[in-house]
Amino acid sequence: MTQDDPSDRTGDDRTYNRRSILSSAGSIAIGGLIGSSGVASATPGREPGPKTDEIIVGLSSSVSDVVREAHTFSPDGCEVAHANETIQYATVSIPPDASQRSRERIFESIRRSPAVEYAESNVTVQSLLEPNDPQYENQRAPRQVNCEQAWETTRGSEDVVIAVVDQGIQHDHPALESVVDERIGRDFVDNDSDPYPDRDEFHGTHVAGIATGGTNDGTGHAGISDCSLLSVRALNQTGEGALSDVADAIQWSADAGADVINLSLGVQGSFETLRSACQYAADRGILLVAAAGNQGVNRVFSPASEESVVGVSALESDDSLASFSNTGPEIDIAAPGSQVFSAVNGGDYARLSGTSMAAAVVSGVAGLTLSAHPNLSRTELRQHLLETAVDIGLDETEQGSGRVDAAAAVGTTPSGDTGEDDVSSQEDGGDQDGDSDQDGGNQDGDSDQNEGNTTGQCGNETVTASADGSLDGNTWQGQSDRYTYRLHTADPCSATVALEGPANGDFELYVTTDGRSPSRWDHDRSSTNSASRESIALTLDGDEVLGLQVHAEWGAGQYSLRLEERGR
């Protein structure tokens, strides 16, 4: 059977009992799940859609009541409109008639509060669709990424859940109703449990139909996978939504047990709230996939540009780069995005183009891969998709690792977790004095900060690792890089992590010991002096996986990160 010509079978009479994480026996009510989600509205009747007159304020992890704290620093005339206690932010509304200078003063007033980590505009996030006339032709995308061979192994497990954060999905569409999770989803635009889209809100249905959809069921088209589908509505009828709504939708999807979150949306620039939401999901083992943008420029939109997210560019049917696709060093992988055939509202089908469609293809392949290899961690799944991608001869800024390949991803045995941005390492033998000298001769001051350093009690087996990069902290939110380090010595004893940044900079170092990606508000150890050099010493038991974050609080330029691990 080819996917151009679906089978005439009426199905195999399966009963779709989609996975639910609700603990109440037999309960499928969304309300019970939302009650524990940490998302709360501080002002009843908040208008849905974009919220251009709001500031998002990120608060320190030490704040126990986000709403109460937000009230204390909100200037006169401003109101606390919304709060998310889970990822620690509140939105503060600005009077719509406030002048630009008044807005700047409000920003500065809020930033001066000791409890405030960052403040940024509640910008508008848009769906990333390149409009085109609907056509009803045979599908090309599944064949282009070799789904037919992958489908011989799996069409996707109902235990794998793909959440689509978008306009909402016509969950009773003939092509989708068999794969929709029994919980259906959540609406963050209207703040209710019914994410059903309006007639003109076709983007979410189209994207969902690419990633998932009944295959070989004699109905409609074939989705890339037959995984479970959660509809999470964060964009309105114009394909726009508030940054806060998108962040809440990502957090909710993570708490709802999604395995993959598709983000066929984006915004130019980098925003701490979106980064925090994506990192929250990533820290819970969820693969996030996002569209690069459709301006045809060398700039990847957020959230695709985030380190915790797989950024996807769009290809034509001949594997050339689509003219509308954004490019850049943050591109991880490429997928078909031109004239992709899928479901739209009203039980119909159409061909649409955009990096939105390409991201959905990758999400679907991720679902197939996780169905075939269910024990893969998030980082292992990501790495496996990149390792099995096909090099199609484009620049890395255009294709990343290459075009996603479903057959290779499903049929190839994963090589294992290599970590996220693993720090490169080399083993050193014998006397380690030479290693100490490599610290530039000016790390003695850092060594004094290493309280609890048990290096002297360890043996001679030593592994050193290093990484370098460039950060720009000359903005109010700063900039970060993250790394993962896995222990290499036979019997680990201790590790010392040293950071050296530009002499005129203010750089910070954060470490976790369980492999999760650290942040300024989620870490096990930190070194945050007002200087360009930081150091952290750790006593090791042997089962740690270190997560490292370098943050430029102020200053810009090259930094170096060095780790020395000793065995007993």
The string over 247-283, giving b where at least 16 C-beta atoms fall within 10 Å of a residue's C-beta and e elsewhere, is bbbbbbbbbbbbbbbbbbbbbeebbbbbbbbbbbbbb
Among this protein's residues, is 203 annotated catalytic?
A: yes
Cα–Cα nearest to 372, from 384, 357, 362? 384
Cα–Cα nearest to 465, from 565, 546, 563? 563
Which is catalytic among the residues 20, 37, 157, 166? 166
Which is catalytic among the residues 82, 171, 173, 203? 203
Q: Which helix (H) or strand (E) holds 245?
A: helix 243-255
Which is catalytic among the residues 276, 356, 371, 532? 356
Show the 3-state SS of 288-331.
EEEECCCCCCCCCCECCCCCCEEEEEEECCCCCECCCCCCCCCE
Edge to edge, the sheet with strand 54-59 lists: 39-40, 79-84, 89-93, 54-59, 116-121
Please tell me whether residue 200 adopts helix, strand or coil conformation: coil
CA dist., res. 375 & res. 193, Å (int): 31
Among this protein's residues, is 206 annotated catalytic?
A: no
340 close to 319: Cβ distance less than 8 angstroms: no
Cα–Cα nearest to 356, from 504, 213, 204, 253? 204
CA dist., res. 421 & res. 547, Å (int): 10
Q: Which helix (H) or strand (E) holds 550?
A: strand 545-554
Among this protein's residues, is 217 annotated catalytic?
A: no
**117: phi then psi, degrees, rounded to nearest 5:** -85, -40
What amino acid positions are annotated as catalytic residues? 166, 203, 356
